[in-house]
């Protein structure tokens, strides 16, 4: 594969990722990850200091499925939606069956009354598994520039 092909695979996966969240197809979101995956949302401050505690952690697709189920049936939060803007991917490493990449993101939060605010900015650090029929995340880490989220972190970043 050429560098362009590799970048295209990662960027297409990222586009599918944000579309599942922004279009409220959350049940499809965990399907973008391999079974034994890692998904974290952490602040840049914690990341820089090597602190393990983040805002959210999952270490399997089953945990992501459970997260969606709780969002749909158990959690109570103000109605909102996100719109992601994701930069081009920088390929950090390409090995047989695995790509490491970084992309920057902005997330705009839109409330039911139409109010919009920049909710989060940061970078994604991804490990993309290429061993199956389609690229899937082995790991996705959302590293937030902001130190805190001003409301309940309801949806995936």
Q: 5: Cβ–Cβ under 8 A, 6 or more apart, which residues?
A: none
Q: Is residue 157 part of a domain?
A: no
Average pLDDT value for residue range 91-109: 96
33 in any annotated domain? yes
5-19, 42-56, 137-151 — most confident range: 5-19
Q: For the domain that residue 54 is a member of, what is the CATH number?
A: 3.10.450.50
Confidence check: pLDDT of 80 > 90:
no
Is there a domain that residue 150 lies in?
no
Q: Taking 80 as the threshold, does the pLDDT of residue 53 lie above it?
A: no
How many structural domains comprise the chain? Answer: 1
Structural tokens at position 66: 């459970």
Residue 39 in any domain: the answer is yes
Range of the domain at 91: 3-144
Is residue 54 within 8 Å of 46, Cβ to Cβ?
yes
pLDDT for 65 beyond 70: yes
Which three-class secondary structure state does DSSP give residue 76? coil
At 40 the pLDDT is: 95
Q: Is residue 34 part of a domain?
A: yes
Task: Please give the average per-residue pLDDT across 89-110, as a whole number.
Answer: 96
Per-residue model confidence (pLDDT) at position 55: 86
pLDDT at residue 50, rounded to an integer? 87
Phi, psi of 20 (to 5 degrees): -65, -35
What tokens appear for 140 in the block? Answer: 């996705």
Q: How far apart are CA 90 and CA 37, in angstroms?
A: 21
Instruction: Please tell me whether the overall predicted TM-score, pTM, comes out greater than 0.85 for this model.
Output: yes
Residue 113: which residues within 8 A CB-CB, separation 6 or more? none
Tokens of 64: 């992501």
pLDDT classification of 90: cutoffs 50, 70, 90 = very high
Q: How confident is the model at residue 70 (pLDDT cuts 50, 70, 90)?
A: confident
**Is 151 inside any structural domain?**
no
Q: How far apart are CA 62 and CA 115, in angstroms?
A: 34
3-state secondary structure of 140: strand
**Domain-located, residue 156:** no
């Amino acid at each position: 594969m050429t560098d362009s092909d590799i970048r295209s695979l990662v960027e297409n996966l990222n586009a599918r990722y944000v579309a599942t969240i922004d279009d409220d197809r959350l049940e499809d979101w965990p399907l973008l990850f391999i079974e034994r995956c890692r998904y974290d949302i952490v602040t840049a401050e914690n990341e820089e200091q090597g602190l393990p505690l983040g805002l959210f952690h999952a270490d399997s697709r089953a945990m992501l499925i459970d997260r969606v189920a709780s969002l749909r049936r158990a959690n109570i939060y103000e109605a909102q939606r996100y719109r992601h803007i994701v930069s081009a991917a920088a390929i950090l490493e390409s090995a047989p069956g695995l790509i490491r990449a970084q992309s920057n993101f902005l997330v705009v939060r839109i409330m039911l009354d139409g109010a919009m605010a920049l909710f989060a900015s940061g970078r994604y650090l991804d490990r993309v598994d290429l061993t199956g029929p389609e690229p899937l995340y082995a790991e996705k880490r959302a590293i937030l520039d902001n130190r805190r989220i001003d409301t309940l972190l309801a949806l995936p970043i």
